[in-house]
Amino acid sequence: MPMINLAEPFPILIALLLFVLVLWFAYESKKSVITGIMLFTFIAILVLHALEFTLGNLSAYGATLTIRSIIIDLIFVFLSFISYLWVDDIEAKLKKKKSIDNSLDWFWSKI
């Protein structure tokens, strides 16, 4: 069984709530570092789940839960990366600097 179990609805709801709160805080403060920290946190959780799956002696049920947690981790990593690019674009426009990546300008203009 994974140490941080993101395969159940309640922990997913808590993680989603924390994700939204951190994203709101990053948006209000206009600092992409905050979403970058969130991204690296989800990557670290993903690495821990992957190590637990490969190195751990799991039962069939524990392996299923770990695989589900890895899938949820990948979704949160993707959402964190997109939110990092979004807040970085907002911060770059505010400071009149070049953004890290301008390839999603067509997407941000529609939001």
Mean pLDDT throughout 84-96? Answer: 85
The answer to whether position 62 is within a domain reads yes
Q: Residue 89: name the closest of 62, 111, 63, 66 by CA.
A: 111
Highest average pLDDT, of 52-56, 74-78, 81-85, comes from: 74-78
SS3 110: helix
Q: What confidence score (pLDDT) does residue 72 get?
A: 92
| Residue 51: how many other CB atoms lie within 10 Å | 10
Taking a C-beta distance cutoff of 8 angstroms, is the pair 54, 89 a contact?
no
Tell whether the model's pLDDT for residue 84 goes beyond 70: yes
**Domain span holding position 78:** 9-105
Residue 17 lies in a domain: yes
Is residue 1 predicted with pLDDT exceeding 60?
no
Q: State pTM to two decimals.
A: 0.81
- 77 vs 105, which has greater pLDDT? 77
44 assigned to some structural domain: yes
Average pLDDT over residues 28-45: 92
> What pLDDT is recorded for position 107?
66
Would 95 be classed as within a structural domain? yes
63 pLDDT above the threshold of 90: no
* Structural domains in the chain (count): 1
pLDDT score, position 16: 92
The answer to whether residue 111 sits within a structural domain is: no
